[in-house]
Each structure stands twice: as structure tokens, then as C-alpha cells.
Amino acid sequence: MDIRANGKGYEEFVRRAQEEYGVEYVRGRVAHIHPSLGPEGGQLIVRGADTLLGQQVEIAADLVVLAVGAESAKGAPELAEKLRISYDHYGFFLEGHPKLRPVETNTAGVYLAGACQGPKDIPASVAQASAAAGKVLALLSKDTLESDPQIAQVAGNRCIGCGKCERTCPFGAIRMRELRDGSKRAEVVETVCQGCGICSVTCPVRAIQLAHFTDSQLLAEVNALCRTWDETTES
């Protein structure tokens, strides 16, 4: 129905196919394909309408290739869950941000390249793989790794050991530690925590909070902003 070849040089490729190799495009819809019964037997007859000329067309073809959709690999969702990365409802892995973090996932140290992220051609896969390799090299070239200081912290004296945070953490960064008296306390694995804050809103007793983003710090920030606003409007 329409030809829109996206990607650098692809439109020129379509034109060259027409001009140099005699490829013919017919804009229309195929109504029926059936085996030829005539003397040219062995061919397939494609019948349809040319919507530009407004007339019926019939083409005897040696080979009919139907356009098929691309699917994600079998087992992709299971792999995503093991790696603790996000995936869409088609089973393709999700990048951290489509424009700003196109090869990174939401899990630090896991990068994407190729058709695991969505249907993709070879040049795009190669470019993305080079970018992912560059990111990995940048990580491995350092003697020490820096992690984001904005991670979850548990106030042990408030934790009632309900385990809700452990069950909701999408990165498996919380484990339950058993104390001598048999009670349990949540413990954050600091190098695994991604600072998403989900545990913080899940905790029924506010025992787990994000460092530098605790409730009292956020409220103090809001109060300071309100005071500044009042003073500005009064003056």
C-alpha cells in the first residue's frame, strides 16, 4: 500500500531497484492467490486491484513471498526476569530511555544490542552492538566502580520483618536477615540496589527510605520552596 524505506540510503536503494533492475511496484491490495491451471502451470496467479490505475491486475508469479511479522525469541521474558530487566508485552527487552539511554537497561551493567530490543536490520544492530561494547569497556577500564549514592536504607529499629519490600524489589536487592531472637529484618544489598524507591512506598511502617530522599528531607525541601514563594510574592 505504501513504501516508506526508513534509514539512511534505503530510499535510494528502493529507487535503484526500480531504475536499474526493473523492479515494479504496484500499489494495491491482493485479493486472491491461486495455482495456475494454464499452459504455464507451476506458477502462482496473484489477483488484485491496482488502486492508482483503478483496475484489476493479474500477475503470474514464480514465487510469492508474504510479509511476516517478527517475533521475540522464545524464552525472552524468562531471560529478562533472570536479568531483572524490563520487557514489553511482545517480549522485546526495554531500553533505559529510548533517546538518552538506548543501549542501557534499567539494571546497571546489562546492555542491549540487536533484535532482542525489537525488529532491527543489520546496520542498526551493528551500530548498537558497538555502542554497547563501548559502554562495557568504559565500565571495565576503571579500577573501581562508582555506584549511585541514592540507594535504599533500612532503619533496623523500625523494621517489623514483614518481607513486603523483599517481594516488591524488582532487582532482588533486599534480603531478609534472621536475628538471634528469630525475628527478621530487611537488609539492602547496596551494590545491587538501583534506587528506584519502590520498596520505600511499599513499607507499611516507613522503615525503608531512599538515602538523600527521605520523607523528612523531601518535606523540608517543599517547605523551603513554599517559604521562598511566599517571600517573593510578598515583596
If DSSP codes are grouped into helix, strand and coil, which group holds residue 198? Answer: helix
CB closer to ligand SF4 out of 115 and 169: 169
Minimum distance, C-beta of residue 166 to ligand SF4, in the bound complex (Å):
7
Minimum distance, C-beta of residue 119 to ligand SF4, in the bound complex (Å):
31
Distance (Å, rounded) from C-alpha 199 to C-alpha 208? 7
CB closer to ligand SF4 out of 115 and 151: 151
Distance (Å, rounded) from C-alpha 193 to C-alpha 176? 15
CB closer to ligand SF4 out of 132 and 203: 203
Minimum distance, C-beta of residue 156 to ligand SF4, in the bound complex (Å):
9
Minimum distance, C-beta of residue 7 to ligand SF4, in the bound complex (Å):
37
Minimum distance, C-beta of residue 211 to ligand SF4, in the bound complex (Å):
10
The residues binding ligand SF4 (CB under 6 A) are 151-152, 154, 159-165, 169, 171, 173-174, 186, 188, 193-199, 202-203, 205, 207-208
**Cβ count near 169 (within 10 Å):** 24
Residues 6+ apart with CB under 8 A from 235: none
Residues in the chain, how many? Answer: 235
Per-residue DSSP letters for 121-172?
Answer: -HHHHHHHHHHHHHHHHHHHTSSS----S--EEE-TTT-----HHHHH-TT-
CB closer to ligand SF4 out of 125 and 153: 153
178: left (phi over 0), alpha (psi -120 to 50) or beta: beta
CB closer to ligand SF4 out of 116 and 199: 199
